[in-house]
Amino acid sequence: MTDSNGKGRVLLALTGWEPEVWINEFGKAAPDRPVALEPEGEADPGIHYAVVWKQPPGLLSKLPNLKAIFSLGAGVDHVFADTSLPDVPIVRVVSPDLTTRMSEYVVWQVLDHHRLGPRYRAQQADRIWEEDQNQKAAGDITVGIMGLGELGRDAASKLRIMGFSVSGWSRTQKQVEGVSCHAGADGLGAFLASADIFVVLLPLTPETRDILNRDLFTRMSKRGPLGAPVLINAGRGGLQNEADILAALDEELLSAVTLDVFQQEPLDPESPFWTHPKVTITPHAAAASMPHSLIEPMARQMDAYERGEPLINLVDRKAGY
């Protein structure tokens, strides 16, 4: 069933995001495609597409003619949190705008640690004028990227432009120009020994949950110019064991961390992370999904699908990302 103009309807289901701006953007990109906002449209046979960020569990399985789910994030763990998902294709965000935002964040945080930002900010607070005479060059530092996907590969190329050496780790073997690539459980040890600053851009899946734990930190190189390594997690909070991170900072298995994501968001005001001197926090702000850059290509994908063309940027349901 389609609307009288032949277009399948869209159901927008967002948790924690203001819907108006997304609806307005649909109005501009696809004025002839009707959009309903959840809970309106629930069980409507005219709904062919669900556009979601943390949709209410059970909602999608009630839609009898759903053809595809569009995630408003690059990560899709929020979609899979609903255990009664209908068996339809899931499209995720792959967008130059989002990728560029993430690479900005990665370069910013890597440079901040490399150029001793946390230390100089602490000195400023105490009015201390003291230059570290041993500032390393970017070429002395290796950045290890966990996750060589859309985001990891772009961040790697931008870090290389800054002069850093870059290594990477992925599930399946990759070849990325100028990046020393490792893969799978067999490649993890060599990868962990290879870097001084670790940037995590992994998806949250059953395989990666809790991967940032004490065992991993003990396997990271401590011989580099920074001594203990720096950890930057912009993937998902579920990747990290937060008690292990705090203990690793105290034991100097890690020298500093930047965390954009947490197991519970927003982070509890009582969390020890807020005031820890070796912790930098950003509020899941590394790379926001922007309506003006995501809705237009999404609407064009729906048009193309209705002309019989295949959907792109599909999630592998078995792999979970």
Catalogue the active-site residues: 236, 284
From residue 96 to residue 115, what is the string marking binding to ligand NDP with x (rule CB under 6 A)?
Answer: ------x-------------
Q: Strand pairing of 165-170 and 197-200?
A: unpaired
Q: How many CA atoms lie within 13 A of 245 on its CB side?
A: 26
Residues in the chain: 321
Residue 52 binds ligand OXD, judged by CB under 6 A: no
| Cβ at position 35, least distance to ligand NDP in Å | 24
Quote the CA–CA distance of 121 and 130 in Å, as a whole number.
12
Instruction: From 72-80, 155-163, 224-232, 307-315, give the range in contact with ligand OXD by CB under 6 A.
Output: 72-80
Residue 208 near which of ligand NDP, ligand OXD, none (CB within 5-8 Å, type-dependent): ligand NDP
Choice between 33 and 101, CB closer to ligand NDP: 101
Query: Which one of 75, 144, 168, 238 is in contact with ligand OXD (CB under 6 A)?
Result: 75
The alpha-helical segments, DSSP class H, found in the chain are 20-29, 77-80, 96-114, 117-125, 150-161, 184-192, 214-219, 242-250, 291-306
Quote the CA–CA distance of 159 and 107 in Å, as a whole number.
6
Residue 234 near which of ligand NDP, ligand OXD, none (CB within 5-8 Å, type-dependent): ligand NDP
| Cβ at position 210, least distance to ligand OXD in Å | 18
CB 47 within 8 A of CB 8: yes
Query: Which one of 8, 152, 224, 229 is in contact with ligand NDP (CB under 6 A)?
Result: 152
Residue 149 binds ligand NDP, judged by CB under 6 A: yes
Q: How many CA atoms lie within 13 A of 308 on its CB side?
A: 0
Residues of this chain that bind ligand OXD (CB under 6 A): 73-75, 93, 287, 289
